[in-house]
Structures are given as structure tokens and as C-alpha cells.
């Protein structure tokens, strides 16, 4: 009888075929495992979506001027909303785009079809010039995301930090003034751009650089919507 459990090769079984070759440049093979995935989505027709979001976000700040304290600095002017914006009809358009991106991720990553990636929490952050977010993670979920509603020039990029324990070992010396291979990067930065959505592992440490925009008034604010995703049975 055929053993159905052996029809596929387990993902964690590595092959060492070819390892007996001599130490020549040609025989050097590289296998890449345990990648850190960052998904990027350019939301179509984002101008109309962003105009509605800007109105809703500033209206929310008027209703709750204190906001909440998370990774933001209130003393620098940063404002963080409550985390239930996905339940507000004013953010239904944003939820639609997040759900669409999450569904594509499920198909790409071959998640179980009986489950969907569902928004557990959603919030907004307004950082005026000087505002920033300290390094943090998002416990209790699988994926986290950020959508840029307004991002003036020099308003501060997001930085992802290499989470691997190799950083606790001895430091490596690289050839000066040359670009390292991507596999050797310790930090990755994305500049904010209105209409862009990033989705990344919730355990990946990230921070946001200070807003150094020189625009005037509210046009200088970096405005984002963030969210957390977890698997929920359909």
C-alpha cells in the first residue's frame, strides 16, 4: 500500500547533493532558508482613498485628542488612535484593500484554505515634524502592516532590523566602500510613499525615523494606518 504521508518531500529536509565536488568557485552552492518576507502593495487609485482617510483620521483625533501611548512619543507631538478603526465604516475602503492583500498572501504562502488572514486591530498614527516611533514588535498576531496615507518629503522612513541571533556573535568585517550582498544586510529601510502598503512579520523589530519635513501645517504630517493580521477560521 502506498504511504500517502511520503508523497511530498518535507520542507525541512535539505539536500546535500553535489557537496562532494572539489572546492572550486564553480562548485560553491548556496541554499537560502528561513527568509524574512516583506510584502509591498501599491494601492490603485490611492488619491481618492487617501483623501477620505485624511478626513476620517483628523476627525478621529478631534474626538480623542489624547490618543494612546504605544511606540509613539506624545511629547514630540505624535498621536496614536485607538485600535478598533477597522470596525468604523469610515475605514471600510482601507479594510477592503487590506483584505485583498491578505487573501493574495494566503494563496502565495499556501495557507490552509479553511482559514483567512483577518484584521484583529487597526489604528492610525499622525507624526508631525520631530515625531518618530521607537523600535518595537507586535505580539499576539502573525503579520503586521502599514499603509501610508500622507508622506511628505523627508517625513521619516521605516527601518526593519535583522532579528537573527548571529548579531550577538562576533562582528564581520566587509570590504569598505562596497555594497554588501543583500543576504548580509543588518537593516532595511523603506521610504514612505502615499499609496504604499507594507506587510511584514509581526515579530520583526521595526522603528520609524523622525519626521524632518519642511512643509507647512498639516501638510508636514506623516499619516499612516497600521493593522495586525491573524488566522481566523472561515
Task: Provide the pLDDT for residue 2.
Answer: 45
pLDDT at site 167: 74
69-128 residue pLDDT tens: 999 988 999 999 999 999 999 999 999 999 999 999 999 999 999 999 999 999 999 999
Q: Is the pLDDT of residue 8 over 50?
A: no
Report the distance separating Cα 103 and Cα 113, nearest Å: 10
pTM comes to 0.88
**String of b and e for 91-130 (b: at least 16 CB within 10 Å)?**
bebbbebbbebbeebbeeeebeeeebbbbbbbbbbbbbbb
C-alpha dihedral sign at 149, 151, 155, 159: positive
Domain ranges across the chain = 33-162+186-233
Superfamily of 33-162+186-233 according to CATH: q2cbj1_9rhob like domain (2.60.120.620)
The residue with cell 514612505 is 192
Residue 177 has pLDDT above 60, yes or no: yes
Amino acid at each position: 500500500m502506498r504511504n500517502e504521508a511520503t508523497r511530498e518531500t518535507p520542507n525541512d529536509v535539505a539536500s546535500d547533493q553535489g557537496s562532494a565536488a572539489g572546492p572550486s568557485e564553480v562548485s560553491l552552492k548556496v541554499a537560502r532558508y528561513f527568509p524574512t518576507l516583506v510584502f509591498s502593495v501599491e494601492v490603485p487609485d490611492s488619491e481618492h482613498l487617501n483623501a477620505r482617510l485624511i478626513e476620517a483620521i483628523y476627525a478621529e483625533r478631534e474626538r480623542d485628542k489624547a490618543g494612546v501611548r504605544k511606540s509613539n512619543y506624545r511629547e514630540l507631538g505624535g498621536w496614536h488612535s485607538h485600535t478598533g478603526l477597522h470596525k468604523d465604516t469610515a475605514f471600510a475602503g482601507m479594510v477592503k484593500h487590506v483584505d485583498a492583500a491578505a487573501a493574495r498572501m494566503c494563496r502565495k504562502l499556501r495557507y490552509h484554505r479553511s482559514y483567512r488572514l483577518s484584521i484583529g486591530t487597526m489604528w492610525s498614527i499622525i507624526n508631525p515634524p520631530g515625531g518618530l516611533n521607537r523600535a518595537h514588535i507586535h505580539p499576539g498576531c502573525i503579520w503586521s502592516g502599514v499603509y501610508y496615507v500622507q508622506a511628505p518629503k523627508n517625513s521619516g522612513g521605516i527601518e526593519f532590523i535583522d532579528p537573527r541571533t548571529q548579531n550577538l556573535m562576533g562582528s564581520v568585517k566587509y570590504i569598505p566602500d562596497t555594497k554588501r550582498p543583500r543576504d548580509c544586510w543588518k537593516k532595511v529601510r523603506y521610504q514612505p510613499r502615499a499609496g504604499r502598503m507594507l506587510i511584514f512579520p509581526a515579530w520583526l523589530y521595526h522603528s520609524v525615523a523622525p519626521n524632518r519635513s519642511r512643509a507647512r501645517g498639516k501638510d508636514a504630517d506623516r499619516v499612516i494606518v497600521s493593522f495586525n493580521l491573524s488566522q481566523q477560521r472561515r
